A and B are shown apart, each in its own frame.
Chain A
Amino acid sequence: MGQLRDVQLFIRKANDAQDLPDLSHLLDDMSRSLGFRYFALGHHVRVLSGDLVQIANYPHSWTERFATLGYLSDDPAVTACQKAIVGFLWSDMHRLITLSERQKTILTESRHAGLGEGFTVPIHLPGECEGSCNFVATAGKSVSTAVLPVAQYVGCFAFEAARRLALNAPRRIAGSQTPGIPHLSSRQLDCIVLAARGKSDTDAGQLLGISNQTVHQHIETAKRRYGVATRTQLVVHALFDSQLIFQDILRH
């Protein structure tokens, strides 16, 4: 009964989530209470567009390496999703797919980055881009199979909440009635410029004389004001609205 109540509570909170950062916090909490450390929820696409969504709390170093090396199309969990109808443990992945050498490399590297056993809930919606919700334990830590039914349900409900938030997120189309440009403080804009120049939160913090957590907070607040999920979206929106200009980011 306790587990069911946890799921019911999560569903209620996920339905009430106002934006993707809200939902990220909920998933972060839920992952930890199930004995995991990380989550990643999203559509399986390289480039986000339209109503697609990707949120995660993986270590930054891993997220960057994953994007830079284009690991998504070879991600073994993504490939295994195509064969799976319900959630699977990463340690069982070999039963679904034959891992290529590159896929074995990705798994090994992910362990070095601190990612251990994972549980992937595939999301197949007719006529829509495929996605998944992943829960990942710290490397070396085991996962109790008793939590997997909870993770299965949480993954499905979280994905639906993310879909809804992405669909309802404010979007501006050139020429349409703009609801007004969100206000960004000069400090927030500083942080966005540095992020757009490829600086980490720590580097940006040093340049601005503030802590990396404060930098992170400025960027999260700005993302929330724009109703976007990623830094890249934030930069594009800020450029589009001329809150930044390209010269801020290039040729500095």
Chain B
Amino acid sequence: MLCVGLRRTNSVVHIVTNLNRGRFRRQIDQMHRDRKRLFVDRLKWDVSVIDGEFEIDEFDTDRAIYLIETDRTTARHVASVRFLPTTQPHILSTVFSSLCDGPVPIGEDIMELTRLCVSPDLAKSAAVSMCHHMWIASVEFALLFGISRYTGVSQAQFLSSLLSSGWEIEPLGLPRDIDGQITGAVAMPITPDTLRRARARFGYRYPVLEVIPQTQAA
């Protein structure tokens, strides 16, 4: 399996799929705990909570792929993001399909990007750089795995940050008020230029992902 690391930082990003998730049980638990603290406790999202402490929904299945960033010293979850294949039911095609004016984009080369989470334990400056790592890691993941665009649902206040990070954003519909949050569906095409802009914006001159060959990672 692939193992992906960030150079010159004290953290490492792993690609976690149904093939290797056995090795990341502890980090996956921590991710669901951090997601509960961030999305439910802090952002007041109306999403399901299991056993009072894990935010897990019907899309956290074998088909989901996660990028999980862990601290090198403690091996603890510090940030994560979830990708869902659009060829299967996902958030935009079910919960938020009304946010798309036209058909929901579906394809082998399109994935839905959801649940970008940074641990609430981190100081703000560290949280911001974890976000940068996650953005760059997501773009590199797309380029490595032949994904031509991400789709997703974004609250309007994050749009400017996304744009300034070098993402190309295509609105799939106009934003609407959902539970008091102005929310819109967007598509984000990924090209080598997306990566160039994101690196330039955050000051990374070299790839932040280090791909270890399968045989060594096993």
Contacts and interface: CB of A to CB of B under 8 A. Distances in A.
Interface of A: 1, 3-4, 7-8, 11, 85-87, 123-128, 149-150, 152-153, 156-157, 159-160, 163
17 contacts: A3-B174, A4-B171, A4-B174, A7-B174, A87-B156, A125-B164, A149-B175, A149-B176, A149-B184, A152-B156, A153-B156, A153-B171, A156-B159, A156-B163, A157-B169, A159-B160, A160-B164
A7 B160 contact: no
B173 interface: yes
B157 A124 contact: yes
Contacts of B128: 126-127
Contact of A8 (B161, B170, B182): B170
B109 interface: no
A128 B101 CA distance: 33
A49 B103 CA distance: 44
Interface residues of B, number: 19
B24 to A, nearest CB: 29
A224 B169 CA distance: 28
B101 A153 contact: no
A131 B182 CA distance: 19
The 3 A-B pairs with the shortest beta carbon distances in the complex, nearest first, are A85-B157, A160-B163, A149-B174
A125 B160 CA distance: 7
Contacts of A150: 174
Nearest to B197: A164
Interface of B: 101-102, 128, 156-157, 159-161, 163-164, 169-171, 173-176, 182, 184
Contacts of B170: 8, 11
Contacts of A1: 101-102
A127 B201 CA distance: 12
A123 B182 CA distance: 15
Contacts of B164: 125, 128, 160, 163
Nearest to B161: A125
A53 B105 CA distance: 36
Given A4-B173, A153-B159, 7 more contacts: A4-B171, A7-B174, A149-B184, A156-B159, A156-B163, A157-B169, A160-B163
Nearest to A146: B174
A215 to B, nearest CB: 36
A242 to B, nearest CB: 34
A3 B157 CA distance: 20
Contact of A152 (B101, B163, B175): B175
B163 A153 contact: no
Contacts of A87: 156, 182
Nearest to B167: A160
A129 B30 CA distance: 35
Contacts of B169: 157
A135 to B, nearest CB: 15
B157 A4 contact: no
